[in-house]
Structure 1
Amino acid sequence: MNTLFAPFQPDAHGVPLTDVVIRTACRDDLPFTAGLAAQREGAGVAEWTAIHGRQFEDDKRVLLVAEHEDEVIGYAWLAWLTPVADGGRNAPDGWYLSGVVVAPAFRRRGVGRRLTQARVEWVLERGEPAFYAVSGSNRASRALHAELGFRELTDDFTLPGVVFGRGDGILCRVDARPDAEVIDLASRR
């Protein structure tokens, strides 16, 4: 089992946090997002602050944060990708969701869902579809995104820099139709 994914427990829920604010990040948030990244991924806060700083300066990336009682408790990225032009295959240009991290004490409280909803709304407000790639074995993420209207497009694609350990990547899309039919490609394996 991949320890970076939340275990798939569809009936396990904590008490939702009602006073979470989702907002576009500012530069002052980077030490907090870097701290969360370091806690999850390893490496030092300084290294993650530099990484997040470079990404933050990229006009093809958007960083949203979840704030609770004036503390950043989670973050999530959006990135405009041009997969085929960058060496990928069978994946359209567009806004891709990536990198949701929630502080351990606040998981299973709806924070990740709210960050994901906010990113989808951000993209859809601009008249664009939103994309995301997921490991077929990440059932928790797939279920969440299906509830938000994502449909699975293909498992025959390559995104530069994205590797699926089991070779089970699935490319998904949502557009202005939140009731889009979900096609479960992973069940065909």
Structure 2
Amino acid sequence: MSGSDLFAAYDPRPRHAVWPGSVRLARPSDIETVAALSVTRDGGERAERAERLRRHIDAETSALHVGTIDDGVVGFGLIRELTFDEGSPPDGLYLGGVVIAEAWRRQGLAYALTAARLEWARERSDVVWYFANARNRASIALHDRFGFEEHTRDVRVPGVTFTGGEGVLFRLTL
């Protein structure tokens, strides 16, 4: 996989599409579809991925949101509380990556999933974090629309490799 294939294609033209489906918290019946979407993007074992994702349903410190169209799940996004060792990123609520089925990309779902996750966060914190590869322009542009600001480029996240780039930590005060 080349470095340009690692991230969603970035198109600098403004996109203000309104997602025609809905966004809601995931249900147990959604997990197999969500796991399949995750494996399609990142590889791995579907059963293992389903088990990891299942933990975020009805959890107090995390939420798995799904985007649906005609009651079918076509994308998801995670927000969860992360704690790190001293010297790592700050502890707090972190947006995880958004995964959307290829046929439904660039139609406003990533924006809708991010808005829903931030709404969930507002009831629990006054700050939300996310980190991204500095080369992931699509993600950075999306989060910029919500007011995320760069906090540091000196970020090292345990278990995360910023392939072909550097990690950037972003912060949003709610």
Query: How many angstroms apart in 2 are the aligned matches of 1:119 and 1:57?
Result: 14
Q: Which residue of 2 aligns with 1:98?
A: 96
Rounded Cα–Cα distance in structure 2 between residues aligned with 1:117 and 1:141: 14
User: Do the aligned residues in 2 keep the contact of 1:73 with 1:106 (CA within 8 Å)?
Assistant: yes
List structure 1 runs of 4+ shifted beyond 6 angstroms.
none
1:122 to 2:114 alignment: no
Residue 32 in 1 paired to residue 33 in 2? yes
Provide structure 1 residue ranges, at least 5 long, that are not aligned to the other structure: 177-189
Alignment coverage as a number of residue pairs: 172
Q: Measure the CA separation in 2 of the matches of 1:111 and 1:98.
A: 15
How far apart are residue 58 of structure 1 and its match? 5.7
TM-align CA RMSD = 2.1
TM-score by length of 1: 0.81
What's the CA shift for 1:41?
1.9
- Which sits farther off after the overlay, 76-85 or 144-153? 76-85
Structure 2 counterparts to residues 30-109 of structure 1, below 5 A: 30-56=31-57, 59-84=60-85, 89-109=87-107
> Aligned-pair distance for 1:12?
7.3
Q: Which moved more, 1:48-57 or 1:134-143?
A: 48-57
Relative distance call for 1:158 and 1:103 in structure 2 (3 A) is: same
Larger radius of gyration: 1
Aligned residue in 2 for 1:9:
11
Percent identity, aligned pairs only, is: 37
Q: Which residue of 1 aligns with 2:147?
A: 149
Report the TM-score when normalising by structure 2: 0.88
User: For residues 22 and 155 of structure 1, do their structure 2 counterparts lie closer, same or farther at Cα, with a shift above 3 Å needed?
Assistant: same
Tell me by how many angstroms 1:68 deviates.
Answer: 0.9
Query: What one-letter code is carried by the residue in structure 2 that aligns with 1:84?
Result: D
| Aligned-partner SS, 2:5 | coil
AA matched with 2:82: L
